[in-house]
Amino acid sequence: MLEIQAIVSKYDLSYVRDGLTSLEAVNKFALTFYKDTAEIYDCITRVKNTERNPTGFALNDAAILGLLVRTWKLLKEVISYYERGNAEIIGILERPLLEAAVVARYLMTKDDSIILDYRKCSYKDRLRILRDLESGSAFFETKAGKRLITSVREKMAFEGFTKSDFSDQKNNRWRVQGKSFYDIFSEVEHEDFYACTYGMMSESIHGSWNESMDWCLFKNEDGTFSTNPFSAPADVRYVTPILGFTNKAFVLWLKRIDAHDENFERLLRWVERVNFALYEKFDALYD
């Protein structure tokens, strides 16, 4: 794609060498590289083999594609907060980013029955809405309630689902194959990575005490706490581990849709190599 060629063309030997000369240069180079990687992911989700998919993608492919689009959209948003120097919002965005990339990879290693299970699991609360309607909830007499119930019914009708089609999902507590995200993560990645990535990110979602101490409070000398009204500066090097989770998903996608070739292979390997080089450079430059 011409868009991808335009992105990578500036990364000649001198540009990369100059970008790794000092801490200031590395931070600037890294931010540009991360932004360009997000654009490459964006482009990849618009690639297709027209013989296999003359128009769009069928439901099971679309379920995976949606996760990959979510991945690059969130990555772009994460990077924008690094540019703004607002670190505490980043954890809120990185958690669903990581989850989308990992679940996409998991689904692409399974057969279509598991992807169907994943799609069905998303209807947990929508089925509750239908139950509330049947129980006579006054909310569904309002315009907002009518719009909501119409949306639920249209989605279920499109996929050919009825209320009686979800017994397996109920028995598995609305988890894909009955697995928690920890189980899925451990199958796709090494379980040792869970606590320091997704586990820590969860604190941003749930408002833990550690999260408050990190971002929302000042600790006084007498052991009391005061309000911290300021945004914390962001450290861009922490994007590097995230790309370690995302890149593999886009490789698998291209193979799934029969659009993988040597050019894409080289491109995504190049992303991995530059990302690892940045990891090593950051490690050398920071205490």
3-class secondary structure, 190: coil
> Which DSSP category does 218 fall into?
E
Tokens for 180, please give them: 């928690």
In a domain, 89, yes or no: yes
Which whole-number Å values give the CA distances from 58 to 61, 62, 122, 176, 256, in the listed order? 6, 6, 17, 20, 13
Count of domains observed in the chain: 1
Using one digit for the tens of pLDDT, what is the confidence trace for 235-284? Answer: 888 899 899 899 999 999 999 999 999 999 999 999 999 999 999 999 88
In a domain, 55, yes or no: yes
Query: What pLDDT is stored for residue 286 in this prediction?
Result: 82
In a domain, 153, yes or no: no
Query: Do 43 and 88 form a contact (C-beta atoms < 8 A)?
Result: no
In a domain, 129, yes or no: no
Spatial CA neighbour of 104 closest among 39, 28, 54, 41: 41
In a domain, 160, yes or no: no
In a domain, 228, yes or no: yes
> Which DSSP category does 178 fall into?
G
Query: What pLDDT is stored for residue 228 in this prediction?
Result: 95
Query: What pLDDT is stored for residue 52 in this prediction?
Result: 97
What is the extent of the structural domain holding 50? 2-123+166-285
Q: What residues form DSSP beta bridges with 219? A: 225
Residue 225, H or E segment: strand 225-227
In a domain, 32, yes or no: yes
- pLDDT at residue 196 tops 80: no
Backbone angles phi, psi at 174, to 5 degrees: 60, 35
In a domain, 156, yes or no: no
Q: Distance between CA 276 and CA 240 in Å, rounded?
A: 8
